[in-house]
Structure formats: structure tokens, C-alpha cells
Amino acid sequence: MPQGTRHSLFPLPPGLSPGAKREPPSFSTAAPMTPLQPRNDLLAALAWYGRFQLYEVMATGPPVPEDMEGRLHSDHCAAICAIGWMAPRGNGLFHGEDLISPGDIHRLSGFFPSVGSRRRFITLSELDRLFRDEGGHR
């Protein structure tokens, strides 16, 4: 979109389109106090709790890590990595099946100061509170 107009259309992320159900995605760990395990769970949780912040970034079409192309949350993954809440691994791939690492938690602590950089896990209920209280901005 060279100059942009108020008539320009951007795709809405799932859950933000008119009439869409606004239910949280299903995570492999259902209990709110259970630590999230694979990176895909953290990705899905960040996509849900940060959905309103992601729209503007998703509209710019950030690059999707190669291993996430065509997968669930691929556009969310691109936006979340562009914001910096998560990052691809050193080889440029996302590796959503990997367990959440201390490095993943450390990265989040830059956006959510109450998350200690030495933490080893995070739960859904903590993410809910963090987005409500701190917003996820630097």
C-alpha cells in the first residue's frame, strides 16, 4: 500500500473479525497454574493475550520463520517475533515443539518487568495478569 487510505483493507487476525467467537485457544496444558511447556503453547498464549497489539504488526506482513509456514499461528508467530516477545532459535527456525527455555523467559522479562529473568517457567494465569497489568510494551 504505497500511500494508504482509509479505504485500504487489512486482514483481521482470527478472533478480531466481526462476529468471531472470542474464546481463548486450546493449549496442551489446560490448567491455568500449570507451567506452559512447548514453545507453541507460549506462542498460542501470547497470540491470545496480546491479540490487540498484534493486529498492527500482522498487517505489515512480517516474515514467518520457515518451519512455521502454513502452520497454526504462523502469522501470529511472525508478529510475536517482530515485536520481540519470542524469537526464532539461532538457526532461524522457530522450533515450536521445543520446551520453553530460560532464554525465552528472559526475553519476556524485557517486556514484563515482573517476570524475573532467572525464571524457568510461566503459567497461563501469569500471562493473563501480565498483559492486564503491564501490557507487554518496552
Range from 40-44, 46-50, 117-121 carrying the lowest mean pLDDT: 117-121
> pLDDT tens digits for 54-90?
999 999 999 999 999 999 889 999 999 999 999 999 9
18 by DSSP, 3-state: which? coil
Average pLDDT, the chain: 80
Whole-number pLDDT of residue 87: 97
Each domain of the chain, given as residue ranges in start order, spans 39-133
Contact 127, 46 (CB under 8 A): yes
Confirm whether pTM is higher than 0.85. no
Whole-number pLDDT of residue 62: 96
Average the pLDDT over 8-19 and give the result. Answer: 45
Residue 15: is its pLDDT beyond 60? no
Range from 2-6, 84-88, 111-115 carrying the lowest mean pLDDT: 2-6
Whole-number pLDDT of residue 2: 45
List b or e across 50-89, with b for residues whose CB sees 16 or more CB atoms inside 10 angstroms.
bbebbeebbbeeeebbebbeeeebbbbbbbbbbbebbebe
